[in-house]
Each structure stands twice: as structure tokens, then as C-alpha cells.
């Protein structure tokens, strides 16, 4: 079994592997694909925010707490978009439990976000 690499060995590999000319060529080659994916991802994030904002407004969530609920919606989307309905339900329940326990989030708000986001992604 090989031993762990030390910092100098990792740096040597990094310096050899990441040639600026090669990296620049790769970025140029994939620019169109990367921009299309970025646009799709940013449109999805914008749509999720538009779905969640009215819920936060309804409950009078202050600006400092809005980020918590928006992060919940994004994480929920990330995991449920690739899951079956049964798995999505389990994931949503687990995330809800984590946010209620760890961040003292309001479970009623989380339930509404789950219904909106998971309903938008797949049947919940």
C-alpha cells in the first residue's frame, strides 16, 4: 500500500499537471458548452428563487433568514432533480429535519418550500 503524499509531492504534481497553455486551450475548447450550462443553471436558480420568495414574504421572513430558506430550496432541488419520487420524499424529509434541528428553521415554511420545489421537479 502506498504511503500518503506530502505537500511537496502534491505541489510537484500540480505544477506539472496544470500547464497554463493546456488549460487555456481546454477553456477555449469548452467555452460554448460551459456558457450554455451556466445559463441553464442560472435560469434554474432564478426560477427557484421566484418560487420561494412569495412563501418567505407570506411568513414575513427577515432578510437575514431568507438565505437559509433559499439555500434549502437549492439543496432540495439539487438532490430531488436526480431522484425518484420515493427517494425525493426521503431526501426532503432528511433535509427538513437537518434544517429544523441545525438551523432552527420553521418546519411550516420548509414544508411549503418542499411542496413547491419538489412539485416543480417531480411528483412529491
Q: Tell me if 2 is assigned to some domain.
A: no
| Residue 98 resides in a domain | yes
Range of the domain at 23: 7-121
Asked whether residue 16 is domain-assigned, the answer is yes
Q: What cell does 32 get?
A: 460554448
Percent of the chain residues topping a pLDDT of 70: 94
Based on the structure, what is the number of domains in the chain?
1
Q: For the chain, where are the alpha helices, taking DSSP H only?
A: 7-17, 20-59, 63-80, 85-103, 107-121
Q: Show the cell assigned to 20.
A: 497554463
pLDDT value, residue 123: 42
CATH of the domain at 62: 1.20.58.800
> What is the per-residue pLDDT across 64-121, written as a single tens digit (0 to 9) for each?
899 999 999 999 999 988 888 888 889 999 999 999 999 999 999 999 999 999 876 4
Residue 101 lies in a domain: yes
- What does the pLDDT average to over 8-35? 90
Instruction: Look at residue 71 and tell me if it is in a domain.
Output: yes
Residue 57 lies in a domain: yes
Please say whether the beta carbons of 118 and 88 come within 8 A: yes
Amino acid at each position: 500500500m502506498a504511503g500518503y503524499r506530502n505537500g511537496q509531492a502534491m505541489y510537484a504534481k500540480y505544477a506539472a499537471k496544470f500547464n497554463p497553455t493546456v488549460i487555456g486551450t481546454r477553456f477555449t475548447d469548452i467555452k460554448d458548452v460551459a456558457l450554455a450550462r451556466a445559463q441553464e443553471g442560472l435560469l434554474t436558480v432564478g426560477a427557484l428563487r421566484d418560487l420561494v420568495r412569495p412563501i418567505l414574504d407570506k411568513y414575513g421572513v427577515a432578510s437575514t433568514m431568507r438565505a437559509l430558506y433559499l439555500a434549502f430550496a437549492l439543496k432540495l432541488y439539487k438532490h430531488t432533480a436526480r431522484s425518484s419520487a420515493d427517494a425525493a420524499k426521503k431526501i426532503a424529509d432528511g433535509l427538513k429535519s437537518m434544517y429544523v434541528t441545525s438551523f432552527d428553521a420553521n418546519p411550516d415554511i420548509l414544508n411549503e418550500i418542499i411542496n413547491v420545489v419538489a412539485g416543480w421537479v417531480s411528483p412529491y
